[in-house]
Every structure is written in C-alpha cells, then in structure tokens.
Structure 1
C-alpha cells in the first residue's frame, strides 16, 4: 500500500494505491498552523473510517507547493508510519528534462503532472491544472518540459471581486445559460466563468502557436484540478480531463525512486 500526498495551497489531496489501483482518496484543508499530531489524528480517522490498516503502508511520497507545512507533515509521517517519505524536489528522479531558466523554480505540482502526462499520453502536450492558481505547461513527447504560464485561479478571481466590491455578493461558481444576464449573481457568474473560458482558449491558442514554431506537432490538451470539468464542458480546446493526474504522477515518481 502506497500513501500519495499532494499539498496544494487550498487542499491536501491524499490517495491510497494498492494492487495496481486507487482504493481511496481524501481531501483535507491545507492549514500551516496544524501540528503533526493534528494531521496524524485526521489521517488515522480516515484510515479507520475506510477500513484500512495504516500498518499496511509500505511507502509514502509527498509533493508540496506550501513549504511551511512540510515540517509538520514529514514529522507526522515518521511518527505515524515509521517511514521516511520521498519528497518531490531537487535530486528526485522524474524522467522529465526541465527547460526552465532555473529548474528549481518549477512547482512540484507542475513536475508531477508532467511526469504523469508524459507516461500516460506519450505525445506533445499542453497540461492545464485548475487549482488555487491555474497553470499551463508545455511538454514534448520526449519529456522536455518547455515551461508555461500561471494565472490566478477562478476562485481567487471570484473572491477578489467579492472582497473589493462592497455591493457584490459571494457566489457559487456555476456557468449560467446566458451571458446577457438579468441579475447580479448570474452577471458575476457569467463574467467570471465565461471570461475564464476565454482566457483558457486564448492561452491554449498562443501556446500551440509557439510549440508549432519550435517544429512540434499539434499538442494534445489535458486538464486536471477542481474546476476542470466545469471549464471543459464549455470549450472544445480541452481534449481530455484527467482528474487523478497528480496522484498518478506521484505514483510514477515513487516507483522511479523507491529503491
């Protein structure tokens, strides 16, 4: 049994992999103030509720974009499982050739997604991850990570509008039927979500142009993250949604580094 932990700015996604399949996945709130003991209690409760034995965990891998939480998480792993975790970072085998000016600047989540995408699709790719921030990454069939861009996530945009405009309410992120809306809530939903769809389409278009200028073929576009399905239903530039892309990347990296 392998424990896979992906730490994002908003949520910690945890997966349990055994016998060539995912047998459980959980989502916790990311909280840098929690102690290792608090995280241990939460995790042990999840194991118990799902009828799983923590003693069966033979390996653990962690990917994080939140440095301040790592001390608590690594201590929790050592105390609860008596295992030294693999932490995605410099020195870890990935099979990906990072073409960034400074490869150490690339977020662990982007590397993990690239590893999974390269293994699963084996073609030129654009990877979109709709998280707290939305990341766009260009990856070649040969595993060359070319770079990409980062924009504020959809929820950040929505929260900023609510917090900075006194008369505008907090809204659910649902796509309305029309863009000419008759009330404030649907007007905000239309502006935020259709505006975001427009951003996705334009960035994908420009990324494809730059990749083709490098002599690459038409890239396949995959999306992951919380709102990937919501956006993908409204546009034809996303070829496939892969919800477990990050967990799959963690599993692959674990296999490359477990010895």
Structure 2
C-alpha cells in the first residue's frame, strides 16, 4: 500500500492506495507547531481507528504548500515506516511540461492536480481547486501547464468580511436561495456564495478566451467545489480526490527512484 499526503494551508488529506484503488481517506488540521512525535501519533491512531495494519505501507509520497511543516512530517513518516518519503518538487518526474516564468514557484498541489486531470480527462483543461486559496490552472491539449490565477478562497473572503466589518457576524457558508434577502445573515451568505460563483464564472470565461477554445474541460476539486458547482453549469466535473490521484500517478512515474529511499539502503 502507498500512503499519500496532500498538505494544504488548512488541512492535510491522507489517502491510502492499493494500486489505483483508494482504500482509506483521512483529513486532519494543518498545524506547523506540531512535532514529528505528535504527527506520528495522529497517523498511527488513524490507522488503528480504521483497523488498517500500518506495517503494510510500502512507501509514502507528499505534496505540500506549507514548507514549515515538512520537517516534522518527513520525520514522522521515517519513524512510522522507516523510509524517506518521496516529496513532490524539483527533480520529480510528472509528465507535465511547465510553461511558467519560474517553474519552482508553481505550487506542488497545482502540478499534482494537472497531472491527474490530464490523465483522466485530457486537454485542454481548466482546473479549479477550492482550498484556502482558490487556484485556476490551464493545461493545453498537449499537456503543457500554461499557468493560471490565484484568488482568495471562499472561507478567507467570509472571514475577512466578519473581521473587518464591526457589525457583521460570522456566517455559515450555506446558500440562502435568493439574493434579495430580508436579514443580515442571508444577505452576507448571498453576497459571499453567489458573488464567488460570479468570480469563478468570469475567470473561467477569460481563461477559455485566452486558450482560444470553448471546449476546455473544467474540473473542480477541493472542499467547497460541490457548493460552487451546484450554482453554475460552467464546471463540467467535480473530482473530490483529484489531488490524491495525482499523487499516486506521480508515485508510479517515480517508482525506480522511490525504491532507493529505504533508510539504511545504499
């Protein structure tokens, strides 16, 4: 079995794979202050809770956009599995040609998403990842990563409104069903959610125009993808596990290197 980590700013998603089959999926909070021992304990508890034998894990691959957490997380995996994890970054084979001013600046999660989406849906593609930030990525018909856009995530936008406007409360991110609302909470929900739908639709339309095609497949992923996709027909596919699938694909493309990383092996 292969254990994959998708480390985001708010959450770490862990996926346990047997080949291409996702056996288990867990989500924990990202905490840069946790030690390797604390992460080791949490991971061990997840396996125990799901009645999975931790000794059956053959290898680990990590994608992270949080550099400060990597020391603890990498040491945790060494303690638990006795191997150095494969980390998505420079030198990793992805199969994606990155056309970016500085390819090292592209978030690992964006590349991983592009790998999975291109293999599953082919190009041209627009990939929208609704995370702490919402990222929009364009992939050509030939599988070239062309770049994209980054905007504040839905929760960040909601929190900013609560924090900066003294008389406005924190609200749950649910659809009020209308935009002409009769109370403050519904008015805020309408502005946040339906306003965000407008942002998504506009950016996707602009990206399709720059790609010079109306036929780009729009793939959405991330925790709030379903909420936004339910209000627009511009999103073609919601793929909940896109990033995890991308990680297992990248692992398969780097198996030879992975086999050399067992601790104590030359």
Q: Does residue 153 of structure 2 align to residue 153 of structure 1?
A: yes
Q: Distance in 1 between matches of 2:206 and 2:128?
A: 14
Equivalent runs, 1:223-238 vs 2, <5 Å: 223-238=220-235
Confirm or deny: 8 A CA contact 2:125 2:138 kept in the other structure: yes
C-alpha displacement of 1:143: 1.2
Confirm or deny: 8 A CA contact 1:124 1:217 kept in the other structure: no
Equivalent runs, 1:104-253 vs 2, <5 Å: 104-212=104-212, 218-253=215-250
C-alpha displacement of 1:176: 1.0
Poorly superposed stretches of 4+, deviation over 6 Å: none
TM norm structure 1: 0.97
Q: Distance in 2 between matches of 1:141 and 1:16?
A: 31
| Unpaired runs of at least 5, structure 1 | none
Q: Distance in 2 between matches of 1:257 and 1:23?
A: 21
TM norm structure 2: 0.95
Residue 61 of structure 1: aligned partner: 61
C-alpha displacement of 1:20: 3.4
Q: Distance in 1 between matches of 2:133 and 2:183?
A: 28
Cα deviation per residue 1:56-79 (whole Å; 9 max; x = unaligned)?
000100000000000000000111
C-alpha displacement of 1:203: 0.3
Distance change (3 Å), C-alpha of 1:193 and 1:144? same
C-alpha displacement of 1:19: 4.6
Residue 21 of structure 1: aligned partner: 21
Q: Distance in 1 between matches of 2:34 and 2:220?
A: 31
Cα deviation per residue 1:200-230 (whole Å; 9 max; x = unaligned)?
0100010000001xxx562010100011000
Q: Distance in 2 between matches of 1:201 and 1:46?
A: 38
Residue 262 of structure 2: aligned partner: none
Confirm or deny: 8 A CA contact 2:20 2:248 kept in the other structure: no
Q: CA RMSD in A?
A: 0.8
Q: Distance in 2 between matches of 1:245 and 1:34?
A: 27
Residue 257 of structure 1: aligned partner: 254
Moved more, 12-21 or 107-116: 12-21
